[in-house]
């Protein structure tokens, strides 16, 4: 069961001005400063802490969970593409939390974005309704269903899709939009 209802989730995003930004904005920002970019995999218990983190720019976010064969859900979490700005770093934020006696959940992870193509991949991943295919086996030794992305904030709502041919088309579109704003493609 989710800790946040859909209404509470959307209210939290609106209060903290978390809106999807375009691939062009992402590319411009990445070209200006390519440090402190992360694919954030956020435990549901930490959403309130990170939503109001200072000097953090959010490019896209979605909720994600595993749908079990009986229709119930498990492993509720969030995916987001974020960038710490104005000299603020992920490490500084974690230290700040630590000084106040607060810790992020051990399942909240910051996967460093290593290039603009990696950031494009994260945006494409969030636009797809079907997340990573489950490699884990259930109690009967069978592979489970893939993760399901929902309540997604993406640059264009008409780009939301399920796994298939559309994935490649959406990723190509994101890449083309991002490359329009990159001055030096050799980087």
Q: Is 1 among the domain residues? A: no
Cα distances from 136 to residues 39, 63, 132, 140, in angstroms, run 22, 20, 11, 11
Q: What are the pLDDT digits (tens) for 47-94?
A: 989 998 989 999 999 988 877 777 777 788 899 999 999 989 999 999
Q: Is 164 among the domain residues? A: yes
In this predicted structure, the answer to whether residue 184 has a pLDDT above a threshold of 70 is no
3-state class (DSSP) for residue 176: helix
- Single pTM value for the model: 0.83
Q: Is 163 among the domain residues? A: yes
- Please give the Cα distance from 178 to 25 (Å, whole number): 8
Burial 106-127 (b: 16+ CB within 10 A, else e): eebebeebeebeebbbbbbbbb
Looking at the DSSP bridge assignments, the partners of residue 62 are 79
Q: Is 185 among the domain residues? A: no
- In the chain, the N- to C-terminal Cα span, in Å, equals 44
* pLDDT computed for residue 168 by the predictor: 76
Q: Is 187 among the domain residues? A: no
> Domain count of the chain?
1
Q: Which two tokens stand for residue 142?
A: 């069978």
pLDDT band at 3 (very low <50, low <70, confident <90, very high): low
| Host domain of residue 120 | 6-180
Q: Is 125 among the domain residues? A: yes
How far out from the chain centre does Cα 78 lie? 6
* pLDDT computed for residue 46 by the predictor: 92
Cα distances from 81 to residues 34, 40, 120, 170, in angstroms, run 13, 6, 10, 17
Q: What are the pLDDT digits (tens) for 103-135?
A: 999 999 999 999 998 999 898 888 887 766 656
* pLDDT computed for residue 1 by the predictor: 42
Residue 38's CB: how many other CB atoms inside 10 A? Answer: 19
């Amino acid at each position: 069961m989710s800790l946040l209802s859909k209404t509470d989730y959307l209210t939290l995003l609106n209060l903290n001005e978390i809106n999807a930004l375009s691939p062009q904005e992402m590319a411009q920002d990445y070209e200006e400063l390519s440090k402190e970019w992360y694919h954030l995999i956020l435990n549901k218990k930490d959403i309130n802490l990170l939503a109001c983190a200072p000097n953090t720019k959010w490019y896209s976010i979605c909720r994600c969970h595993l749908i079990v064969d009986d229709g119930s859900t498990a492993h509720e979490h969030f995916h987001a593409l974020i960038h710490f700005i104005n000299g603020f770093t992920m490490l500084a934020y974690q230290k700040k939390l630590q000084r106040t006696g607060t810790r992020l959940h051990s399942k909240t992870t910051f996967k460093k974005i290593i290039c603009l193509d990696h950031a494009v991949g994260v945006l494409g991943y969030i636009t797809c309704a079907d997340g990573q295919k489950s490699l884990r086996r259930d109690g009967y030794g069978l592979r489970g269903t893939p993760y399901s992305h929902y309540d997604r904030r993406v640059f264009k709502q008409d780009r939301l899709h399920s796994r298939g041919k559309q994935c490649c088309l959406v990723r190509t579109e994101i890449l083309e939009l991002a490359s329009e704003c990159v001055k030096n493609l050799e980087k």
